[in-house]
Structure 1
Amino acid sequence: MIKRTFYNLPEQKRQRIIDAIVEEFSSSSTEKVSINRIVKAANISRGSFYQYFDDKVDLVEVLTKSFVDLSIEGANKALEYSNGDIFYTYEKLFEIITKFAQDKTQKVILKNLLRSLRANDDLVSEYLLNRFNGFEELNKIAKQYNTDNLKFKSSEDVEYLSQILTQLLKNAIFNYFVIDVDYQTVKKTFLRKLEIVKSGAVAQF
């Protein structure tokens, strides 16, 4: 767990550490990430590192925090704007997540993390299984979906629908960040799949 001492650091020093973490993860696969290189680049001692972080898993949280926060914020805004339209929300989530690729460093980091996830890397798996709170936030969002225009109304069915759309989103993200399929192709395919699912889920009036 990231310790409060890290967040209490002067902004300049905290940013220097973040920059060192970003540089390390953008130039190395997760299994080769080196704490020694990070502390050297950040100009801190190894002892200081452990005053701020428990282990390397915390570094994954540092990297993904802004990404996750912006995604959750965007999903909530999309829900509010669309009066709880689940399909509109996932379309906007796709736009928010792929927008990170405009920053080449962020794209490389996400690519490395996703590759590690696919390979069941211990570092990323530990973060997702035990420290990532994004799934909990997504569950909260799922409870806000408007079921008025859906063929089914139960919370269980809406959760299943959300799981299907999440899997489509994951596939699109993986194809874009890891397989390097061009953006327009990924977007077109993702939106078409959304439309197919929507045609079976939305009631016709």
Structure 2
Amino acid sequence: MPKATFFNLNEAKRARLMRAAQHEFSRAPLPEVSVSAIVADAQIPRGSFYQYFEDKEDLYFYYLGTLVNNMEQHLLSLIKETKGDLFVSMTHFFDYAVEEVVEGPNADIFKNDVATNFQHAQNSNRFGKDRANYPFFKAMRDTEDEISRSVDRTSLKVTSDADLKALQRLIFMVLVHTIGHYFHSQKTNSPESLEDIKAEFSMTLNWIANGALKSKKELG
């Protein structure tokens, strides 16, 4: 995780380093990212970089963590605005998230296959026993807990915190898959539009909320 020396930097220098990180992470997938390019852009000595971060993966996950946390905070605001309605909030959140991921200032970072980058860095030894305390994962877990506390459960078939978090994760899996499907379609002869995937997500979310069957059916 970032070292104390990074957090001791003045705000202007931290911002300059983060802008340099954004430029480089937008340019290439994580395995191809150049620390040399980052330090040159940030105008710091290469040795200083390693006083702030363990390596490029460390910086990547710190930067990505700030993006994810900002998006989750937006979702939390939506849940509070809708008085805890998880499904209405997620409908509005998807519209915001997909436009942020596809057209926002960090769009190229998401296009550089965040899922692959995540898997690449997740295999790092640094995520061993200290995984739970790594800022990227801790921020996600803390926000997930706050979202769970803010959801109105009275209309949901959940009986425990674990049930609610499982439902939240299912919805997020659908969200990530839908956006991933959009990026994949852009490489084909039949690219989907943002309106296409918004409709796809809305349909799937409706199935989760109301079921895909016209009448109840015993499974198994």
> TM-score range with shorter-chain normalisation?
0.7 to 0.9
Mapped pair 1:57 → 2:57: yes
Partner of 2:2: 2
Amino acid at match of 1:102: E
Give the whole-Å Cα distance in 2 for the aligned partners of 1:128 and 1:194. Answer: 33
**Over aligned residues, Cα RMSD in angstroms?**
2.6
Give the whole-Å Cα distance in 1 for the aligned partners of 2:65 and 2:157. Answer: 36
In the alignment, which of 175, 179, 187 is matched to residue 198 of structure 2?
Answer: 187
TM-aligned CA distance change 1:111 to 1:5, over 3 Å: same
**What does 1:1-205 align with in structure 2 at a 5 Å threshold?**
1-100=1-100, 101-103=102-104, 106-117=106-117, 120-121=119-120, 123=121, 126=124, 130=131, 131=134, 132=136, 133=138, 134-177=140-183, 179-180=185-186, 181-200=192-211
Aligned residue pairs, count: 198
TM-aligned CA distance change 1:152 to 1:135, over 3 Å: closer
Give the whole-Å Cα distance in 2 for the aligned partners of 1:38 and 1:161. Answer: 39
Structure 1 gaps, min length 5: none
Shift of 1:22: 1.4
Q: What TM-score, normalized by structure 1, do the two folds share?
A: 0.82
Give the whole-Å Cα distance in 1 for the aligned partners of 2:32 and 2:117. Answer: 14
Q: What TM-score, normalized by structure 2, do the two folds share?
A: 0.77
> Are the aligned partners of 2:30 and 2:57 in contact in 1 as well (CA < 8 Å)?
no
Structure 2 gaps, min length 5: 187-191, 213-220
> Are the aligned partners of 1:2 and 1:54 in contact in 2 as well (CA < 8 Å)?
yes
Give the fraction of aligned pairs with identical amino acids, expressed as a percent: 28
Give the whole-Å Cα distance in 1 for the aligned partners of 2:98 and 2:22. Answer: 18
